[in-house]
């Protein structure tokens, strides 16, 4: 093997095999090869090939699909809808908001073989349908909100006394400080990449909301972040940022893009203190940043008193702010916000409106007017407004 490596460095293997060579000629060839940096060309980086081919669209314009829908008959309706419009992508749950893996791995040695659900019974067949229609597939992996894993591994979660802590909706989180939790989620992302997904979208990359108000009452392990003089806020930000960088590095051999969902308001602050999200630091470690900028989710930001009633104005003001933040980065990611295609009646009379064609198009126009031509549509029930002009 040593002699073979020397031949590769010299870039002269064929010549050496075919005829004798003087030592000074070999040394000259070796020097030329190194000066021309031939070695990287002769040793290309390995990239996993799933056998499926998807090209990145001119600009991703996608919609969200649950695991149940992805594995049922309604998927065909959504495929037809995307095919008939200027939409071109789907974000599909591979690990959902409860922590369920939405398919059963065929490989019985998979660490997820016993916990997978059969929502998507044949994920590769599903991906082949998308390949046929040239629909770009994005695997959504919910990371730290994981009621299932918190129950199975309480030591990886946050405990309130002797019980796993739950928020007001009965949901539990696992601990972003722990490398074991990172690897659990990255492993699922790698399986999705091997299936043929071209992008991994990590969601709930954060601590629970309001964590700064309960951190002293909960029991949890800070792992390697225990030491050091940083504040707890700084440690949370560091842990979340480190996870994103780690996940991206681990996914490099699989040739996938990496995106992260983030609260829209995170871009308005130096950092979100409780949840550990720093917009700029996360953006530096991903290919795509997807801020959730649904008008219904804002209060009186940007001087807009009732944002749900002003979708164009809210998205326009956010886009201007985000553009400014991204310009400060040396290698900014692609901006691909989540926009609203649902009616937020829970806001109460006078604070919301029914969302339809006009409201969805207003958000798209606000993004386009500010140079952002990628976006994703969110509707938890996967019922999307018909007749919308998605033209970039």
Q: What is the pLDDT of residues 158-195, one digit of tens each?
A: 999 999 999 999 999 999 999 999 999 999 999 999 99
Between strands 163-164 and 288-292, the pairing is unpaired
**pTM of the full structure:** 0.88
Same domain, 67 and 34: no
Residue 383 counted as domain residue: no
**Is pLDDT at 349 greater than 50 in this prediction?**
yes
* Domain membership flag for residue 293: yes
My answer on whether 30 and 169 are in the same domain is no
Residue environment code for 103-124, b if the CB has 16+ CB neighbours within 10 A, otherwise e: bbbeeeebebeeebbebbeebe
pLDDT at 384 (0 to 100)? 98
Give a yes or no: residue 47 inside a domain.
no
Residue reference for tokens 């990172």: 182
Q: Residue 380 above 90 pLDDT?
A: yes
Q: Is pLDDT at 1 greater than 60 in this prediction?
A: no
Q: Are residues 161 and 206 in the same domain?
A: yes
State how far the Cα of 277 lies from the Cα of 270, in Å rounded to an integer. Answer: 9
User: Residue 267 is part of which domain span?
Assistant: 61-378
* Residues 270 and 211 grouped into a single domain: yes
Residues 14, 143 within the same domain? no
Same domain, residue pair 250 and 127: yes
Residues 331 and 363 in one domain: yes
pLDDT, mean of residues 330-355: 98
Same-domain status, 106 and 20: no
Say if residues 329 and 278 touch (Cβ distance below 8 Å). Answer: no
- Does 161 share its domain with 19? no
**Residue tagged 């309001």 (tokens):** 210
Q: Are residues 198 and 300 in the same domain?
A: yes
37 and 84 inside one domain: no
Please tell me the number of Cα atoms within 13 Å of 184 on its side-chain side: 24
Residue 391 lies in a domain: no
Q: What is the CATH number of the domain that holds 361?
A: 3.20.20.80
For residue 247, give every residue at least 6 positions away whose Cβ sits within 8 Å of its Cβ, in sequence order, or none.
Answer: 182, 185, 186, 189, 200, 202, 258
Contacts of 263 (CB under 8 A, 6+ apart): 206, 272, 275, 277, 291, 292
More confident residue, 113 or 53: 53
> Does 33 share its domain with 114?
no
387 in a domain, yes or no? Answer: no
Q: Based on the structure, what is the number of domains in the chain?
A: 2
pLDDT category, 107, cuts 50, 70, 90? Answer: confident
45 band by pLDDT with thresholds 50, 70 and 90: low
């Amino acid at each position: 093997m040593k002699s073979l490596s020397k031949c590769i460095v010299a870039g002269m293997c064929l010549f050496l095999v075919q005829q004798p060579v003087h030592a000074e000629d070999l040394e000259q060839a070796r020097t030329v090869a190194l000066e021309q940096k031939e070695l990287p060309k002769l040793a290309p980086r390995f990239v996993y090939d799933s056998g499926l081919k998807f090209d990145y669209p001119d600009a991703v314009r996608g919609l969200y699909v649950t695991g149940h829908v992805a594995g049922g008959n309604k998927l065909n309706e959504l495929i037809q809808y995307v095919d008939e419009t200027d939409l071109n992508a789907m974000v599909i749950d591979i690990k959902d908001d409860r922590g369920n893996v939405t398919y059963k791995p065929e490989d019985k040695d998979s660490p997820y073989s016993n916990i997978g659900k059969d929502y998507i019974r044949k994920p590769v067949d599903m991906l082949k349908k998308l390949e046929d229609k040239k629909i770009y597939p994005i695997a959504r992996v919910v990371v730290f909100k994981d009621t299932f894993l918190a129950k199975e591994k309480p030591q990886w979660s946050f405990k309130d006394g002797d019980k796993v802590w739950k928020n007001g909706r009965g949901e539990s989180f696992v601990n972003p400080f722990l490398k074991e939790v990172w690897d659990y989620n990255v492993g699922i992302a790698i399986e999705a990449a091997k299936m043929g997904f071209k992008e991994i979208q990590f969601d709930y990359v954060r601590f629970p909301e309001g964590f700064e108000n309960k951190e002293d009452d909960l029991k949890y392990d800070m792992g390697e972040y225990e030491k050091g003089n940083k504040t707890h806020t700084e440690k949370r930000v560091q842990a979340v940022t480190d996870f994103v960088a780690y996940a991206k590095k681990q996914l490099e051999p699989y040739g996938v893009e990496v995106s992260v969902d983030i609260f829209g308001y995170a871009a308005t602050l130096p950092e979100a203190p409780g949840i550990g999200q720093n917009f700029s630091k996360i953006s530096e470690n991903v290919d795509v940043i997807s801020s959730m900028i649904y008008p219904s989710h804002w209060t009186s930001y940007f001087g807009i008193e009732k944002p749900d009633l002003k979708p164009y104005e809210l998205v326009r003001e956010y886009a201007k702010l985000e553009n400014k933040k991204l310009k400060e980065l040396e290698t900014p990611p692609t901006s691909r916000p989540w926009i609203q295609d649902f009616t937020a009646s829970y806001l109460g009379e006078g604070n919301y409106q029914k969302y339809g064609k006009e409201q969805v198009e207003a958000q798209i126009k606000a993004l386009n007017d500010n140079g952002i031509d990628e976006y994703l549509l969110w509707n938890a029930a996967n019922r999307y407004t018909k007749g919308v002009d998605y033209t970039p």
